[in-house]
């Protein structure tokens, strides 16, 4: 980009920033509070975040086609499961599902399992439905509603896009090993979570 074009672009950006429009700094005005609740829910809930991350890593390991399929399958299934949870609420906490997800998906990433893209898509769909259902039920109880689910799904889409694309782009052998190490850590966390579930003392 030439200096003159850059200056023009910067001037235009500056003018846009100076436009005297309301800032909508308070979410009461914008009505987007539940949306951000959904976004932050995923970021602050490792039971959902880590399996989704593991799925994204697995999809990335299996190439760009698997990554593209998972990019739409996981958020889509999560949304479908969540909507079902809004309609048919449950009090199930989802710890068992989280533990199985940690162990299964983490193990597949650690082993760099050679799954076909169709299998990765199927896993993404099952994961989305199983995690989305209790998500939707919890959001219904918290009166966050469908907008919260949209926030979760948006965050999921972003997570899968970034993580899978990063893994697809890795060429260095040590980089692929780092992904497998991350999978083994997720398995280890799953084992400890299993221990916490059956804690005797």
Partner 1 sequence: MKGGARVERPRSGLRLRLAPSRLLEQTLPTIALLATLWPSLAWAHAERGRAEGFLAGLHHPVSGLDHVLAMVSVGLWGAQLGPPAVWLLPVTFPMVMAFGGMLGLMGVPLPGIESGIAVSGILLGLAVLTRWRPPLWAAAAVVGFFAVFHGHAHGSELPAGASGLLYSVGFVVATGTLHAVGIGIGLIHRWAWGRAALRLAGGLVACAGVYFLWRAVS
Residues that bind partner 1 (CB under 8 A): 46-47, 50, 98, 110, 172, 174, 177, 180-181, 184-185, 187-196, 198-201
Contacts of 10 (CB under 8 A, 6+ apart): none
Reading the block at residue 24, the tokens are 């909508």
Least distance (Å) from partner 1 to the CB of residue 86?
A: 25
Q: CB of 99: closest distance to partner 1 in angstroms?
A: 10
Instruction: Closer to partner 1 by CB, 26 or 198: give it.
Output: 198
CB atoms within 10 A of CB 115: 17
Q: Which is nearer to partner 1, 150 or 187 (CB)?
A: 187
Nearest to 109, CA basis, from 193, 190, 194, 182: 182
**Total residue length of the chain:** 201
Residue number with CB closer to partner 1 (32 or 194): 194
The dihedrals phi and psi of 91, each to the nearest 5 degrees, come to -100, 5
DSSP letter assigned to residue 151: H
Taking the complex as a whole, the smallest distance from the CB of residue 131 to partner 1 amounts, in Å, to 14
Pick the closer one to partner 1 by CB: 46 or 89.
46
Q: Which is nearer to partner 1, 87 or 111 (CB)?
A: 111
Least Cβ distance, residue 134 to partner 1 (angstroms): 15
Residue listed under structure tokens 């084992």: 191
| 87 within 8 A of 132, measured Cβ to Cβ | no
Q: Which is nearer to partner 1, 91 or 200 (CB)?
A: 200
Q: In the bound complex, what is the minimum distance in angstroms from residue 95's beta carbon to partner 1?
A: 9
Q: Using the 8-state DSSP alphabet, how is residue 31 labeled?
A: S
Tokens representing residue 79 in the block: 């949304």
Q: Minimum Å distance from CB 156 to partner 1?
A: 19
What does each C-alpha distance from 27 to 32, 37, 88, 136, 151 come to in angstroms?
6, 11, 29, 22, 14
């Amino acid at each position: 980009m030439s200096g003159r074009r850059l200056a023009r672009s910067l001037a235009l950006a500056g003018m846009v920033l100076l436009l005297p429009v309301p800032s909508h700094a308070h979410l009461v005005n914008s009505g987007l509070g539940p949306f951000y609740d959904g976004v932050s829910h995923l970021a602050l809930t490792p039971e959902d975040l880590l399996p989704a991350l593991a799925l994204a890593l697995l999809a990335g390991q299996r190439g760009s086609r698997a990554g593209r399929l998972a990019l739409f399958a996981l958020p889509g299934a999560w949304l479908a499961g969540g909507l079902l949870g809004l309609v048919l609420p449950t009090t199930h906490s989802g710890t068992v599902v989280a533990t199985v997800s940690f162990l299964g998906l983490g193990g597949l990433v650690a082993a760099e399992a050679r799954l076909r893209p169709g299998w990765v898509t199927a896993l993404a769909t099952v994961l989305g439905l199983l995690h989305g259902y209790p998500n939707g039920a919890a959001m219904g109880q918290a009166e966050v509603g469908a907008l919260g689910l949209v926030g979760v799904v948006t965050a999921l889409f972003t997570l899968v896009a970034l993580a899978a694309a990063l893994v697809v782009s890795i060429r260095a052998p040590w980089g692929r090993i780092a992904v497998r190490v991350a999978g083994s850590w997720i398995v280890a966390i799953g084992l400890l979570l299993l221990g916490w579930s059956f804690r005797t003392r």
